[in-house]
Amino acid sequence: MALFKPEDCLILVVDDIKLNLQIVAKILDKVGYECSFAYNGYQALRRVKSARPDLILLDLMMPEMDGLEVCEKIQANPELSEIPIIFISASQEQEHLLQAFQKGAVDYVAKPFHSAELLARVRMHLELKYSRQKLRNLLQEQVELVKQLETLANTDPLTGVWNRRYLLMIAEQEIKRSQLYNFSFAVLLIDIDHFKKINDTYGHSIGDDVIIFMTKTVLYHLQSTDCFGRFGGEEFVALLPETDMDEAMIVAECIRENIKNQYISFEEQKVSITISIGVSSYRTGDKNIDSILRRADQALYQAKHEGRNRVISCPWE
């Protein structure tokens, strides 16, 4: 099965002799190729930029600007360099042949030529071009597929934020940065208060809406350098690079206050929620994220024990 249809291909023919253009046009027209013509190098460059042909048949010997210079200018343009150029010339000099390929030509047809030979070379290079384009498209599709798979593997399907696996990976990277450069690094462990009661009272669909609402609110108050994700159920983690405990407490309190003062509407009801946040930060001697998360979890436990809807930092921070 052909990779292309001749009638879908535009070929630019460049020659300063009108009779030569007519001869080539007649050969190409019999097969069904669409043709455009240029009578000199300057006109050829303008046509290439405006028409973007699929292939160029280029005369080597032309006044003012010869084919070699035209070829060089086309190859120098990244947007045009993929267009295959076949030189057509009466010159039999080896030097001209070598120069043509050095400038970027894909083939060289000597005059006088047989129409079958010219058509065979044109077809071959058009098929090669379309094969390369098809391969590039397939590779690009694979790249996009890999990105999509990575996103699916690293994100929570309900909220679109990072999942536990990806959060832990980023957290370990931040620990290493803190160890190496003595940077501050804070963690917020966030839990939706009485989430089971929300599910039991309003149903899991509203419970999902609550989680999405909370996620959007938290993201609004985080920096682009922060990392936020779902740790499991109604529990979320925010990683705050280069943020000390005082700064982290301000961020956490702002998030808590904003969530408390908003509500979710559904049907004729309004649902308001609160959150509890445990805050911890990197300390010299922390070897991994586990110790920081453990302290944040202890702080979160204390926040719940004291009545929820509050921000607590680890007692020994």
Q: Which token pair is 179?
A: 């160890």
User: Residue 74's closest CA among 59, 56, 61, 62?
Assistant: 56
Closest CA to 54 of 135, 117, 129: 129
Q: Which of 7, 69, 234, 317 is catalytic?
A: 234
Where would I find the H helices in 66-163?
A: 67-76, 94-102, 115-154
Strand order in the sheet with 227-232: 227-232, 235-241, 185-192, 275-281, 311-313
CB atoms near residue 144 (< 10 Å): 10
Distance CA(251)–CA(240), nearest Å, equals 10
Whole-angstrom distance, CA of residue 154 vs CA of residue 104:
45
State yes or no: is 253 an active-site residue.
no
Q: Catalytic site residues?
A: 234
